[in-house]
Amino acid sequence: MSDAEIIMSIEGVTKKFPMGEGKFLTACDNVTLHVRKGEFTAIVGESGCGKTTLMKSVMNIQPPTEGRIIYRGRDVTQLSGEDRRQHCRHIQMVFQDPAAAFNPKLKVKEIICEPLLNFGLVKRSEMAERAGQLLQMVELPPDFGERYPNNMSGGQRQRVAIARALALNPEIIVCDEATSALDVSVQDTIIRLLCRLQKEKGVTFIFICHDLALVSMFAHRVTVMYLGSIMEKLDGDKLQEARHPYTRALLQAVFPVEKEKTHIIQCLEGEIPSPTDMPSGCPFQTRCRSCQDKCRTEKPVLRELSDNHYAACHFPA
Ligand SMILES: Nc1ncnc2c1ncn2[C@@H]1O[C@H](COP(=O)(O)OP(=O)(O)OP(=O)(O)O)[C@@H](O)[C@H]1O
Ligand code: SF4
Ligand SMILES: [Mg+2]
């Protein structure tokens, strides 16, 4: 896979939440990740592994405890006031449940054009036309603008959320579990829509998801997280070459290599440690079948195994 230009560098981002009595919950631990222009960068991991927390730092909603996020030559974690507002123009977010973010009293055309109104980029009299153009981009008829969000299916609401995210012509769209609540067939059509937007408009996507099988179908780069740390980073078309025991367990659960009747899918066993009381050493040690003494004392750092392929494991497969 050719290397597209890096447009965002997440460098050593750590986020710790104080939990009282001097304890901290480390939601992200020294996360380093590069986002390349016009690509799908997928961040995958189980619930609570720190995906949303990391994106809140990217969106400048919640500052990290440590680390930098370099975008357009500036550290976005340090932006404030008008600079922070302008940052929002370039990076937009689509959430799992857009209905929760929509004002039910507003028509779809008002919801879609709200970001444009906020930046003084559209007049009220032009709203219907502009909303119609954006609705067409997400394959909905222009007259959809006259509807209210309650009168739509989940898939249609998610298209409206994407149209709204597109309104400011952003460079990056962050999709946080944006298709997770949808039926498989609707999920499929939304993914196809995002792929079309990526190809036709050159939008860069950061796609947050817990489903490795889904992202394997379209992601250019995949980052696998576990309890706040990156376990493995590799190209999407090389997922079958994953060498971290966690990624391999996830892969085996979705793409069993042996298909004989006797084959039992190797599920992830073992206790997940509490994020407020992490063991020293490797975060994955309690569930790893390859765990050895060194894993219990020394936290593995991300090491380059081959081009664009990194894993944090003392004993990669
Ligand atoms: N404001 C907060 N205060 C304390 N802990 C928090 C806060 N926000 C998140 N956390 C904790 O940080 C960890 C990471 O949470 P986060 O929401 O980033 O996970 P996630 O990977 O997005 O999970 P999901 O797939 O369920 O959305 C979790 O243990 C969560 O409970
Ligand atoms: S470092 Fe050890 S415990 Fe952690 S994933 Fe690798 S082999 Fe397993
Ligand atoms: Mg989340």
Give the mean pLDDT of the chain: 90
pLDDT tens per residue, range 28-80: 999 999 999 999 999 999 999 999 999 999 999 999 999 999 998 899 999 99
Three-state SS for 34?
strand
Pick from 75, 59, 56, 53: which is nearest to 9 by CA?
75
Q: Which CATH class is domain 6-311?
A: alpha beta
**Which pair of tokens denotes residue 17?**
């939440």
Question: Above 90 in pLDDT, residue 252?
Answer: no
Query: Does 264 score more than 70 pLDDT?
Result: no
Taking the centre of ligand 1 as the mean of its atom positions, its distance from the CA of residue 27, in whole angstroms, is: 6
> Which two three-digit tokens encode residue 201?
């408009």
232 CA from centroid of ligand 3 (Å): 19
Place of tokens 């290599």: 257
Residue given tokens 């009299």 in the structure block: 125
To test the pocket of ligand 1, the residue of 29, 31, 53 to mutate (highest count of ligand atoms within 8 Å of its CB) is 53
Structure token digits, residue 78? 């340090």
Atom 1 in ligand 2: residue holding the nearest Cα:
313
Entry pTM: 0.93
Which residues, chain by chain, have CB under 5 Å from ion ligand 3? 52
Contact 128, 110 (CB under 8 A): no
Q: Which ligand is nearest to the Cα of residue 289, counting in written order?
A: 2
Q: How far is the CA of 192 from the centre of ligand 3 (A)?
A: 22
Confidence tier at 180 by pLDDT (50, 70, 90): confident
Provide the 10 A C-beta neighbour count for residue 221: 24
In this structure, is the dihedral angle defined by the CA atoms of residues 160, 162, 168 and 174, taken in order, positive or negative?
positive
d(CA 229, CA 160): 33
Best probe residue, ligand 1, of 49, 224, 274 (max atoms within 8 Å of C-beta): 49
**Average pLDDT of 207-227?**
94
Probe target for ligand 2 pocket from 225, 302, 313, with the most ligand atoms within 8 Å of CB: 313
The Å distance, Cα 251 to ligand 2 centre, comes to: 16
DSSP 219-239: -SEEEEEETTEEEEEEEGGGG
Closest ligand to C-alpha of residue 54 is 1
25: β partners:
17
Cα(293) to centroid(ligand 3), Å: 33
Ligand 1 centroid to residue 99 C-alpha, Å: 21
Residue 282's pLDDT band, with cuts at 50, 70 and 90, is: very high
DSSP secondary structure of 40-105: EEEEE--TTSSHHHHHHHHTTSS--SEEEEEETTEEGGG--HHHHHHHHHHEEEE-S-HHHHS-TT
Amino acid letter, residue 33? L
Query: Which residues form ligand 2's pocket by a CB distance below 6 Å?
Result: 245, 282, 284-285, 288, 290-291, 295, 300, 313-315
99-152 pLDDT, tens digit per residue, is: 777 889 999 999 999 999 999 999 999 999 999 999 999 999 999 999 998 888
Sheet holding 74-75, edge to edge: 23-36, 6-20, 66-71, 74-75
Centroid of ligand 3 to alpha carbon of 261 (angstroms): 36
Minimum CA distance residue for ligand 1 atom 16: 50
CA distance 28 to 45: 12
| Domain spans of the chain, in order of start | 6-311
Residue 202 has a pLDDT of 92
Model pLDDT, residue 205: 96
For the chain, what's the residue count?
317
